[in-house]
Amino acid sequence: MNWIKTHYKSVITYVILYVIAMVFFAYPMSYEVYLPGGVNSAEEFVTFENPYPSSGSFNSSYVSVVTKTSPFQYMLGKFNKKAEIRKMGKVESKTPIKELNKISHLHKLNSIYTSLIVAYDRAGKDIKYTENGIVIINRIVDTPSYESLEVGDIIIKINNTEVHNYEEVSNILSDFDCYEPFYLTVIRDEKEITFDIEKEKRENQCILGIYKDYTYTNYEFKPEESSPPFDLIDTSGFGPSAGFIQTLSIYNMLTPIDITFGLKIAGTGTINLAGEVGIIGGVEQKVFGACKADVDIFFAPDYDYNTKEGPRNNYKDALKARDIMKSDMIIVPVKTLDDAINYLLEHYG
């Protein structure tokens, strides 16, 4: 005690410095920092018995993301000219990182399943699967679904009616009035759960809070019955932005014409069942990584869209990033899977 009395000023100083250090290095802020990444082979998650050979490669682009940055990480991002800082939304910033990672992984699974279906269809091949409900990736905040459903739940029944995809769910829900109770059956952690729920009125609409882009169909694939058979060997990863390049890669393995033509090809963009390529975030950081990896051609979504910071376009942003790197990498704008296939065939075939 005498020592503390004698050195109390020093003790207080050290405590204050410790608190300041903890806040500076560990306090989570409502920001994400996107840092330059690299490229990975887009062929690694699926294998076929006898794939057509490829002289080049398709590669998915990735970024390094620091979520809920500390003040120290935020400051480093500010000083890094190749980093992008994004302000997180109120709900997103309050969501635990574990749940954010789960949401991102579900987006990745959806992209893989969609890639398989679209590539088989475009290649004229037969892929077998059944639809067994819809998987909840996220819910609209302050709605009945947000309060009752959890990320990863699979909706399989409404009352006693089995549902297989989003369209069936949407059609059945449209028959219920506001505050009319019904039963919802989900699979959660491999257990079947049934609970009461009802739609509520929000801005003159009766809604449950299930949004199409926050769900995906629970596909049960039959790899051995598909032609050709396939094996999903890796469904890890996060985010939907590799969907488009994954689809190109699978298509190339399924068809006799090698559309890589010996080139190292990368790109980014989501994919939907119509074969349409969607916008993504962090395209500049993906281009920085692709330039360092000596990529020959980079495909980027070509759509104008608005953000809090103003209008953006992935393709135009990719061009700016390439110029910063002083690279001769070719940036190609795409809106659909066919845009990419046709470009490669017309320019290199």
Residue ranges of the chain with per-residue pLDDT less than 70: 1-9, 11
Give the pLDDT of residue 86: 87
How many other β-carbons are positioned within 10 Å of the β-carbon of residue 171?
11
Whole-model pTM: value is 0.90
pLDDT digits (tens, 9 = 90+) for 200-228: 988 888 899 998 989 999 999 999 999 99
Domain membership of residue 294 (yes or no) is yes
Give the pLDDT of residue 11: 64
Domain membership of residue 287 (yes or no) is yes
- Domain hosting residue 76, numbered range: 27-125+229-348
Among 200, 219, 238, where does a domain finish?
A: 219
269 and 332: one domain?
yes
CA torsion sign for 230, 235, 240, 244 is negative
108 and 247: one domain?
yes
CA-to-CA separations, 278 to 242, 243, 245, 287, 288, in angstroms, rounded: 10, 9, 12, 17, 20
The domain that holds 254 is classified in CATH as 3.30.230
206 and 257: one domain?
no
pLDDT digits (tens, 9 = 90+) for 24-33: 778 888 888 9
Give the pLDDT of residue 100: 92
CA 189/CA 195 separation, integer angstroms = 15
Provide the terminal-to-terminal Cα distance of the chain, rounded to the nearest Å: 84
200 and 66: one domain?
no
139 and 195: one domain?
yes
